[in-house]
């Protein structure tokens, strides 16, 4: 359905005489290939979405995680962080992307031939340097892990340097989809209703004009825009603007990264104590046991120690804790 919709939308736009130079999106559909067959003379190019490229790398790392003990959550976060920084620092630079992809793996193994002095601590500090985001600050040592990481970042079409140098973002489309989903939820059948057009139009107005579109529509129809409606829309627009600006700051990004690390750490500690309870196809693995599968760990109940009244020591001092603000109304007799 997705490639067919893409072809129909592009054909609809081109029939109105609008030329399209670039299509930004994920790499999970064959729509662009179909368009090139329909318009072989067209010069439009396909650029990948930054977030989807990162998600594909995450999937590949999780696919090999069970095969390498050294690939812990901390190491995975370090790899993804380095990959994100590398993309941002080498935007539009194909040669920089090639060196960066090599440096991602080599830097973590103590090889700094392709590192840049602007970010590599070893080139600045020498042998005194310790990794800030690797276990105990030491280099990775697993050769098998290095081989698998090189397969992900080197010689892989999904992380092609030329493609990474010209990444785009479809975040604006995702934001519009969320607005539309709030006014026309997928769980409700609005596609054959007369109100669907108004729901889509209101989403477009909210995206382009902000929440003040309600008052403007009222005014265009000769109705009162409403003072309270204007106040509320301006208040929401101001809040939206502040939230957007705050999300771009370093403090907000660090906060999101810190919260993500906290969630990952909590999950890892619980899995150590309880074992994995939620994972893709984990139910199938438990139904078909094999030699490599592990039994589901059970949390032992708290052991109740029987109290022997004869062993209770009678002490002249009683220590207790009252969760109150004061003792002015308390009478204590010991």
Alpha carbons 22 and 45: distance in angstroms, whole number: 5
pLDDT of residue 289: 52
pLDDT of residue 44: 81
pLDDT of residue 33: 80
Q: Which is more confidently placed, 281 or 109?
A: 109
At residue 280, does pLDDT exceed 90?
no
pTM: 0.64
pLDDT of residue 334: 47
Give the model confidence (pLDDT) of 86-136 as tens digits.
988 888 888 888 888 999 999 999 999 888 888 888 888 888 888 888 888
Average pLDDT taken over every residue of the chain: 82
Would the CA dihedral through 37, 40, 44, 50 be positive or negative? positive
Q: Work out the percent of the chain whose per-residue pLDDT is above 70.
A: 84
Annotated domain spans of the chain: 2-48, 50-164, 171-209, 215-272
Worst-scoring range by mean pLDDT, 27-36, 56-65, 258-267, 305-314?
A: 305-314
67-76 long-range Cβ contacts below 8 angstroms, 24+ apart: 67/144, 67/148, 68/142, 68/144, 68/145, 68/148, 69/142, 70/140, 70/141, 70/142, 70/145, 71/145, 72/135, 72/268, 73/264, 73/265, 73/268, 74/133, 74/134, 74/135, 75/108, 75/134, 75/135, 75/140
Please check whether residue 79 is in contact with residue 109, taking contact to mean a CB–CB distance below 8 angstroms.
no
Give the model confidence (pLDDT) of 177-208 as tens digits.
999 999 999 888 988 888 999 999 999 999 99
What are the structure tokens assigned to 196, written together? 């669907």
């Amino acid at each position: 359905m997705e490639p067919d919709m893409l072809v129909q939308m592009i054909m609809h736009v081109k029939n109105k005489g609008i030329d399209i130079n670039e299509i930004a999106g994920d790499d999970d559909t064959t729509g662009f290939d179909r368009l090139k067959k329909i318009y072989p003379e067209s010069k439009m190019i396909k650029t990948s979405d930054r977030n989807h490229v990162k998600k594909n790398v995450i999937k590949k790392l999780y696919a090999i995680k069970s095969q390498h003990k050294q690939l812990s959550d901390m190491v995975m976060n370090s790899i993804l962080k380095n990959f994100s920084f590398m993309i941002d620092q080498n935007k539009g630079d194909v040669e920089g992307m090639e060196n960066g992809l090599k440096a991602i793996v080599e830097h973590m193994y103590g090889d700094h031939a392709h590192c840049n002095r602007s970010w590599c601590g070893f080139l600045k500090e020498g042998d005194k340097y310790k990794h800030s985001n690797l276990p105990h600050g030491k280099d990775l040592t697993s050769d098998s892990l290095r081989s698998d990481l090189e397969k992900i970042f080197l010689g892989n079409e999904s992380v092609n340097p030329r493609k990474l140098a010209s990444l785009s973002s479809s975040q604006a489309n995702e934001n519009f989809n969320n607005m539309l989903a709030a006014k026309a939820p997928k769980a409700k059948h609005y596609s054959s209703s007369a109100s669907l057009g108004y729901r889509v139009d209101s989403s477009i107005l909210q995206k382009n004009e902000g929440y003040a579109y309600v008052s403007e529509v009222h005014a265009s129809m000769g109705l009162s825009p409403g003072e309270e409606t204007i106040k509320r829309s301006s208040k929401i627009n101001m809040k939206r603007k502040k939230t957007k600006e705050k999300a771009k700051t370093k403090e907000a990004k660090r906060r999101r990264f810190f919260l993500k690390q906290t969630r990952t750490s909590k999950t890892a500690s619980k899995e150590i104590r309880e074992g994995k309870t939620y994972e893709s196809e984990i139910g199938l693995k438990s139904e078909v046991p094999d030699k490599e599968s592990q039994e589901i760990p059970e949390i032992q109940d708290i052991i109740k120690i029987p109290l022997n009244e004869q062993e209770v020591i009678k002490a002249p001092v009683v220590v207790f804790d009252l969760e109150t603000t004061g003792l002015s109304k308390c009478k204590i007799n010991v």
